[in-house]
A and B are shown apart, each in its own frame.
Chain A
Amino acid sequence: MNSNVAALNTLQTLVVIGNGMVGHHCVEQLIERGALGRYQLHVFSEEPVRAYDRVHLSEYFTGRDAESLALSDAALYQTPGVTLHLGVAVLEIDRARRQVLTAQGSVAYDTLVLATGSYPFVPDIDGAEGDSRLVYRTLEDLDAIRRAASHARRGVVVGGGLLGLEAANALKSLGLEAHVVEFAPRLMPVQLDELGGLALKSQIERLGVGVHLSRATQSISAGEQYRYRMNFANEQSLETDLIVFSAGIRAQDALARQCELQIGPRGGVVIDDQCLSSDPHIYAIGECASWNGSLFGLVAPGYQMARSVAAQLCDQDAEPFIGADMSTKLKLLGVDVGSIGDAHAHTPGARSYQFIDEASASYRRLVVDATGKQVLGAVLVGDNSYYDTLLQYAQNGIALPAEPASLILPSSSGAPTLGPGALPESAMVCSCHNVSKGAICSAIDGGCSDLAQLKTQTKACTGCGGCAGLLKQVFEHELIARGVSVDKSLCEHFAFTRQELYALVRVEGLHSFEELLARHGRGHTGCDVCKPAVGSILASCWNQPIMDASLVPLQDTNDTFMANMQKNGTYSVVPRIAGGEISAEKLIVIGQVAKKYQLYTKITGGQRIDLFGAQLHQLPQIWGELIEAGFETGHAYGKSTRTVKSCVGSTWCRYGVQDSVAMALLIEDRYKGLRAPHKLKFAVSGCTRECAEAQSKDVGVIATEKGWNLYLCGNGGMRPRHAELFATDLDDATLIRYIDRFLMFYIRTADKLQRTSVWRESLEGGLDYLKQVVIDDSLGLGEELEAQMQRVVNRYECEWANALKDPDKLKRFRTFVNDERADPSIHFVEERGQRRPIMATELNLIPVTEELA
């Protein structure tokens, strides 16, 4: 009997119903707190996709897809011990037997967490159906709105609250004329006072959104100009093609009602301070829970409940849930709106200061207590830059300045801002994840010395992200206060930055990892952080073949095998197609190779062809055939020059003013094989129409009548950045000289894995400084940088051609060193006429915890 097996048998079953933001946060917290040591976790989600960011739902219409809105990597729910049942609704809870029933059967639980959230409230209105009864809550709802909008001109949102205005924004971004219909006499009646509502209305109307207040919709009938007509109580009407109801939410407590848990007066599962329902085995968290008669429709209180429950289930100290601060800071339709604490001055004796700017439709209200010493609340419309300071005053009871009004007056009047040093330890920096200034300080005292690590460790700023600025300020202030110099060590083996190691390698002429480690590092081995970083530095400096015996162990797997590993362990192969120019003969060879080895082929964004599905032992055969036909490696696997994209230019195009293909070939031939801190992409456009999209590249070149304009440090990918215009009307030689200097300066000074865009943003002195270094040669480095580049260029050799000549280097390209067979567990299926990897589900495999024999 194995101890692991024994442990498995003693696991309890914990079921979480609902995979919205709060349910997901609970799962994350449970895993983080070690719950998988004691529970098997089953998560049921009615929706077919895993938890996504509902706060930023409207971005679904401006380019974000379901995957990018997802709150976690798919991997989280593949953690052994966690099973996510997507698209499986729980139909019934049997409390007596402690089981949940779904269409696919029942699951017994020891403990149950309800995180079923809420559903949109739609008032009973005659004629509301189909496109006149849309709601705004899930991705499916958004798909329905998008479908309805495709043949619509005008859209109406019923409800002028927070979600209603979000929905109006969504309609606007779909290109519709948007209107908001609100029952109350002002917008956002919960958060704003009358003047605040007026200011918001005025700002929103300026954006072209119609606002109709004090309107009760009685019925919906067929329209004349538009599809529907909304008939209001006062005999007025409004015509529209679609109607989205966003008139409030109701707790989704259907399951709780079915199993007869106690339900609150306004709906919702009644919970105590421990988030426990009337059944001691069932917790409820988030919008489906009713605490002290109140429901909480914001994400931060839901997260508080999720944390509390996760801590209790792991036998850790849990903070009881005792209500929540409902302060909010939002950008609605591009207008800043903030509401803090007692915004309506309901506290007896409360007094207000108000600031109104009708010209810009800005409004601010500060509510203070009867003694005039403490902030009770605030309303902000038009400018949220006051929010952080006011919130800190309100939450931490900081004494007001002598002239409280200065806190909401325009900043030119010299209002005192609250520096991070003035905040008490208890000050809440991140309210989504409940991170106080004190928690940040103790993380720093515990050795945390970089912002990314701080975020991972404390989770601060990983919720809505609104505290990013404050977090950075507090972090830097506290570091300086401790006299800490920021630790930029590469890893535990080198107490140097990448830049410092680069200088050591060059100055001391070191050619191997072992030499560098022996002289300047610790230990004998290194790790997967420092080895590839040093491998890259050695390649940038000396450009030796990366398959040399001493360099092989340094490379990340893709560099080691000079191909790109895919999810099933096979590789993709990308031969260089410089400038995207290729002859018919070479295309045929690629086709023949793909056919012979049954490779899946796809055209890349960089104007090349990617061949997928090669096993390790096939790589030398494939490359043998490609090199025979005149191809060379495309370095698609390296942190190195990738492609130079180009348009056809003046040779063919009636608009082209220079030969962009010839320039692309010149650039690609010069810099191919250059290894850098990160991958490098180039493009050359033959005229200002910019068909090669050069302004999204690290180095972009655009033809002019007189020569070339050079753009630097652009980036596509996850965080797009336009390249900046660096120099204009250059001749060929000057263009190449500038690029030489720029690239070598980047290689010399960038951090590990830092793209040029990020490097440029962190470069002190910015673009002007870069111009001084490259154009004016202010550091006197110009010739040295050029000479270094020339050495790398002179040393270029196709790595695959080099490896194929050396039987020793080919030794590694064996799936098994003692057997000729291929990996028998790699399977393909055919799709659209090509092979692709088989998916786990198609193998009828259910991922299970590895059982030990």
Chain B
Amino acid sequence: MNLSNSPRANARPALWQSVCSQHDLVRNSGVVVWLDGAQVALFYLPQAEGKTLYAIDNHDPQSGANVIGRGLVGSLKGELVVASPLYKQHFRLEDGCCLEYPQQRLRVWPVRLHDGLVQVGVANEH
């Protein structure tokens, strides 16, 4: 039942679930979707060289508040990150790792754009 940070989860999701329209995204910034009880922050970076869309947990472990989707995105040493808006620690969009506190780690989901829809990869039981 692992759909968290392991690379395998990213590679082959069991199911693509549509969560919102591409028009709901905000360029170079984040929005949040409700996904069966989870809060998923979607960051859309249309000019980025590699992936342009990321899905990461909206829950900030340091403050306990659901605010990651409202953080500022940027790149640090070539890696795309989001800065938590409360205490400003940085999380890698790729795998949810926190640069300052390795113990803090956010869940990430596979995500894609498909027919103008944003789809998040979820595991079988959903």
Contact = CB atoms under 8 A, between A and B. Distances in A.
Do A and B truly interact? yes
Interface of A: 2, 4, 36, 75, 78-81, 492-493, 523-532, 549, 552-553, 555-558, 560-561, 565, 567-569, 616, 811-812, 814-819, 821, 823, 825-826, 840, 847, 849-850, 852-853
B77 interface: yes
13 contacts: A75-B87, A79-B103, A80-B61, A80-B103, A492-B77, A524-B75, A527-B76, A565-B70, A568-B65, A569-B65, A811-B26, A818-B20, A850-B61
B117 to A, nearest CB: 11
Contacts of A568: 63-65
Interface in B16-45: 19-20, 24, 26-29, 31-34, 39, 45
Contact of A560 (B32, B70, B74, B76): B70
Contacts of B86: 565, 567, 569
Given A80-B104, A569-B63, A525 B74 contact: yes
Nearest to B6: A2
Given A552-B29, A565-B70, A526 B2 contact: no
A79 B61 CA distance: 10
Contacts of B5: 852
A530 B75 CA distance: 11
B75 A567 contact: no
A4 B6 CA distance: 10
Given A80-B61, A524-B48, A818 B67 contact: no
Contacts of A818: 19-20, 24, 33-34
Contacts of A75: 62, 87
A508 B66 CA distance: 40
Given A80-B101, A524-B47, A816 B26 contact: no
A527 B76 CA distance: 7
Residue in A78, A525, A560 whose Cβ sees the most chain B Cβ within 10 Å? A525
A565 B64 CA distance: 14
Given A524-B49, A549-B27, A818-B24, 12 more contacts: A2-B2, A2-B4, A80-B101, A525-B28, A526-B74, A527-B83, A531-B74, A552-B28, A568-B63, A569-B66, A817-B32, A850-B61
Nearest to B77: A492
Residue in A817, A825, A849 whose Cβ sees the most chain B Cβ within 10 Å? A817
Q: Interface on chain B toward A: helix, strand, loop, or mixed SS?
A: loop
B24 A811 contact: yes
Given A817-B20, A850-B104, A525 B45 contact: yes
B13 interface: no
Given A816-B39, A818-B34, A557 B85 contact: yes
A20 to B, nearest CB: 25
Contact of A528 (B2, B34, B49, B74): B74
A531 B87 CA distance: 17
Query: Interface extent on B, as a size class?
Result: 35 or more
A815 B30 CA distance: 11
B51 interface: no
B1 to A, nearest CB: 6
Given A492-B76, A531-B74, A817 B33 contact: yes
B103 A849 contact: yes
A790 B116 CA distance: 45
B63 to A, nearest CB: 6
Given A557-B70, A568-B65, A569-B65, A525 B85 contact: no
A79 B101 contact: yes
A96 B96 CA distance: 43
Contact of B103 (A36, A560, A812): A36
Contacts of B122: none
Q: Interface on chain A toward B: helix, strand, loop, or mixed SS?
A: loop
A819 B33 contact: yes
Contact of B2 (A531, A556, A853): A853
A525 B80 contact: yes
A812 B27 CA distance: 11
Contact of B74 (A527, A561, A850): A527
B34 A821 contact: yes
A396 B56 CA distance: 55
B87 to A, nearest CB: 7
A823 B48 CA distance: 30
A415 B26 CA distance: 67
Contacts of B67: 557, 565, 569
A557 B66 contact: no
Contact of A525 (B6, B34, B75): B75
Contacts of A812: 26, 29, 31
Contacts of A530: 74
B110 interface: no
Contacts of B26: 552-553, 811-812
Contacts of B62: 75, 78
Given A524-B47, A528-B74, A531-B74, A817 B31 contact: yes
B34 A816 contact: yes
B32 A815 contact: yes
A424 B100 CA distance: 35
Contacts of B27: 549, 553
A552 B59 CA distance: 22
A850 B63 CA distance: 13
Contacts of B75: 493, 523-527
A525 B64 contact: no
A784 to B, nearest CB: 33
A525 B87 CA distance: 21
Nearest to B123: A853
Contacts of B2: 2, 852-853
A826 B67 CA distance: 11
B28 to A, nearest CB: 4
Nearest to B37: A824
Contacts of A525: 28, 45, 47-48, 73-75, 80
B88 interface: yes
B43 to A, nearest CB: 10
B34 A819 contact: yes
Nearest to B104: A80
